[in-house]
Chain A
Amino acid sequence: MASPEDINQEDFVRLYSRHERNVRAFVTSLLPRWEGVDEVMQETSLVMWRKFDQFDPDRPGSNFIDWAFMIARYEVLRYRRKKATSRLVFSEDVYELLATEAAEVAADQPARHRALQDCLTRLEPAQLKLIQPVYADGVSIKNAAALVGRTPTGLYKALARIRRNLRRCIELTLSEARMKGSA
């Protein structure tokens, strides 16, 4: 027979795996670099696990994702104070604004994720080929540029174009979905 702790564990793993992508998107949006994202995610998941008994889904207005964002937000702040090495760190007032709004944006991350998968297939093959070397773990833009045979500046520009295309495509897909949904 499953003990109450086991049930608790199962609940947690189920909820966590369902929302992990949202939390990761939330954390990534608040940090200037990749550095730290994994560490913050790990700390966040640990804190969530430790405090899962304090999470009460039956309380009105409380849901797992808001609770997770609250913890992640604190962990990002802690990371910024303790470990950050980038000088591109926003002041705390701007950080607070961003963190509040990031929670809204990250909440519909699953829809964005699906839209992106679709939009990636519509990129030109030459553009698609640039993504892998640039976004692979631990590659500097200089090395990536050498790899694809471009200058770093040229690569920056190409990437900016790709991002803009993708952003536009995602927005279109999402608003189409919303219109269909409301019809």
Chain B
Amino acid sequence: MNLEKRHLELIDGYCSGSLSDEEFAELEEALRKDAALRRELLESRMLESELREYAAVLEKQPLGDNEDAAGKVHTIRRLKIEVWAMAAAIAVLVGGVAFLALRPGDRGEVAVASPELDPGVAVLTRAIDASWENRSVRTGDSMPPGRWKLLSGVAEFQFYNGASVILEAPADLEIVSENGGVLHAGKLRADVPHHAHGFTIATETVELVDLGTSFGMEVGSDFDTEVHVFDGKVELFDVGSEKLPGEGRELLGGEGLLLPISGETSPISADASRFLDPSRFEKGARARYERWKSSAEKWKSHSHLVARYDFETDPGPLRVLPNRSSRRDDGLRGSIIGANWSSGRWPDKGALDFKRPGDRVRIEVPRAAKSVTLIAWLRIDGLEKGFQSILLSDGWDRPGAFHWQIHRDGYLELGVWHGDQNVTPNSQAIFEMQPADFGRWMQLAVVYDGDKKSVTHYRDGEVLGEVPLPVVVPIAIGKAEIGNWSPPPQDARQIRQFNGRIDEMLIFDVALNPTEIGAAYENGKP
């Protein structure tokens, strides 16, 4: 075995828990390539296991006693714990509960990452202007273990164990597991409910184990750590030591500690005002809601705006969806059937919730147009039906009928009835829904351009696809429904209702360009 001295040192460091991040990365890279080194590591770890058992035996019996007898004592002590657990399992079985269901991955191979598995250990719950180094993540996305460097903004995420963390840029947090991580730089605030006791944040100088509380931590440029306990209790341990409950240094609400990389630790008093609290996000949401309101007002002067539904709850009749464009046609005022009022992109904003087959908003758009643009802000809660309507003209039997819908197989479709049997009426673009996209607000837009002879689909201000039109007809939306469809009278009523919420819809009788759609997205994004 010809192993480099350097690599052997790294293995020693690994076993004693003294590696720096750079050294650890170096060891990992070496292990990836070198089978002999992997074997060395495994044998070293197994030796550790043996030595630990040996030490436990000596603890019970002074040196010189019969080792094998002592070994048995230890094995029995350990077995007791395991047998006790087993007895609990037996009690469950005798109680009549059958074998617990198989978890996915138990059958045969070890579970490794695959598209059906959630690699996350935390979820990004709220963010304000957050940008991350080498990562693109949106609220609602799950966060797998790894380095998370927040370059700007503020982010709030929840570990799956329940602990909630607010990170302020610039910060560098390494998420290790559902149970915590390592703060390499910057500031965080954590709120830890009962279920997440034991939540741990480590830094270069300390490991903090939470015992149900809220606390703040800051790692400065010189790697000093400040710990501020706002409420409850935490326990602090030396880096790399075994964290035995009750044996660390306890800090209570109001107390704090400065832990320099070298030198003595000193007490400080906890200062909550230096850390952001969750109300920051509520303020941020209100500010963005106001920004949207003032930008939405500007649409009024757009000469091609046919209808604007802002879905804001109105002091008027609850079953009416007012049109806020300058056009006065009565048909543009929507009738709400079924659908319940709910909250939209921001907590104070209104939305309609479409859930049952009867839920719909009826409108009538007069006059045909050569080109049209529709922009909708919506939140898809499920895609179980073949088609889900965003906006569909009644029936499917007259020129210019307009069917804008989502198919569960992953595409957006604009169908326009043109009467030519030999040419498809449908223009489609691929539309992928990731698991975390359900329940997330998004902007969808479609442009039917009679001059350019094309249909363009958009999602969140980005072009999904542009489809050429072999046949062009004037668009006549006419009698139509938002979130549902009324088929021709002779047909059976297929269920096509939208499953989710809609909180804004704009109809133009002109083709908007990508810049205009992008601007509408920027002004409206939650």
Among A82, A93, A141, point to the contact of B179 (Cβ < 8 A). Answer: A82
A156 adjacent to B52 (CB under 8 Å): no
Q: Which of B53-61, B267-275, B279-287, B348-356 contacts A (4 or more CB under 8 A)?
A: B53-61
B49 adjacent to A24 (CB under 8 Å): yes
Identify whether the interface residues of B are mostly helix, strand, loop, or mixed: helix
B82 adjacent to A42 (CB under 8 Å): yes
Residues of A within 8 A of B514 (CB): none
Residues of A within 8 A of B178 (CB): 81-83
A33 adjacent to B242 (CB under 8 Å): yes
Residues of B within 8 A of A90 (CB): 28, 31
Cβ distance B12 to chain A, nearest Cβ, rounded Å? 5
In the complex, residue of chain B having the shortest beta-carbon distance to the beta carbon of A153 = B18
In the complex, residue of chain A having the shortest beta-carbon distance to the beta carbon of B160 = A82
Q: Which of B108-116, B299-307, B376-384 contacts A (4 or more CB under 8 A)?
A: B108-116
| In the complex, per-residue mask of A21-49: 1 if CB is within 8 Å of any chain B CB, else 0 | 10011001111111101100110011001
Give bound CA distance, A124 to B189, whole Å: 51
A138 adjacent to B46 (CB under 8 Å): no
In the complex, residue of chain A having the shortest beta-carbon distance to the beta carbon of B175 = A87
A contacts with B, residue count (CB < 8 A): 78
A135 adjacent to B54 (CB under 8 Å): yes
Residues of A within 8 A of B63 (CB): 128, 132
Does B223 sit within 8 A of A, measured CB to CB?
Answer: no
Cβ < 8 Å to B, chain A residues 110-126: 112-113, 116-117, 120
A97 adjacent to B32 (CB under 8 Å): yes
Residues of B within 8 A of A30 (CB): 45
Residues of B within 8 A of A33 (CB): 17, 242
| In the complex, per-residue mask of A154-170: 1 if CB is within 8 Å of any chain B CB, else 0 | 00100110011011001
Q: Which of B98-106, B164-172, B504-512 contacts A (4 or more CB under 8 A)?
A: B98-106
B52 adjacent to A87 (CB under 8 Å): no
Cβ distance B439 to chain A, nearest Cβ, rounded Å? 24
| In the complex, per-residue mask of B33-65: 1 if CB is within 8 Å of any chain A CB, else 0 | 001001101111111111110111011000100
Cβ distance B112 to chain A, nearest Cβ, rounded Å? 6
Q: Which of B75, B111, B176, B240 has the most CB of A within 10 A?
A: B176
Q: A83-B179, A167-B43 in contact; A88/B32 too (CB < 8 A)?
A: no
Give bound CA distance, A44 to B164, whole Å: 30
B176 adjacent to A87 (CB under 8 Å): yes
Among B16, B41, B105, B145, point to the contact of A74 (Cβ < 8 A). Answer: B105
Does A140 sit within 8 A of B, measured CB to CB?
Answer: yes
Cβ distance A32 to chain B, nearest Cβ, rounded Å? 7
Among A70, A81, A105, A128, point to the contact of B42 (Cβ < 8 A). Answer: A105
Cβ distance B180 to chain A, nearest Cβ, rounded Å? 6
B31 adjacent to A87 (CB under 8 Å): no
Among A74, A106, A128, A140, point to the contact of B240 (Cβ < 8 A). Answer: A140
Does A15 sit within 8 A of B, measured CB to CB?
Answer: no
Residues of A within 8 A of B113 (CB): 92
Does B359 sit within 8 A of A, measured CB to CB?
Answer: no
Cβ distance B34 to chain A, nearest Cβ, rounded Å? 10
Q: A35-B242, A101-B42 in contact; A88/B17 too (CB < 8 A)?
A: yes
Residues of B within 8 A of A172 (CB): none
Does B337 sit within 8 A of A, measured CB to CB?
Answer: no
Among B12, B41, B89, B247, point to the contact of A138 (Cβ < 8 A). Answer: B247
Among A35, A83, A135, point to the contact of B52 (Cβ < 8 A). Answer: A135
A84 adjacent to B176 (CB under 8 Å): yes
Residues of A within 8 A of B105 (CB): 74
Among B12, B181, B244, point to the contact of A163 (Cβ < 8 A). Answer: B12
Residues of B within 8 A of A84 (CB): 176-177, 179
Nearest 7 Cβ contacts at the A-B interface: A135-B55, A140-B241, A28-B49, A29-B45, A84-B177, A85-B200, A87-B182
Instruction: Give the interface of A toward B (CB within 8 A).
Output: 9, 17, 20-21, 24-25, 28-35, 37-38, 41-42, 45-46, 49-51, 53, 70, 73-74, 77, 80-94, 96-99, 101-102, 105-106, 109, 112-113, 116-117, 120, 128, 131-142, 156, 159-160, 163-164, 166-167, 170
Some 15 contacts from A to B, beta carbons below 8 A apart, are A28-B46, A28-B48, A42-B81, A81-B177, A82-B160, A87-B174, A87-B181, A94-B28, A97-B38, A98-B41, A99-B110, A105-B39, A131-B55, A140-B238, A163-B12
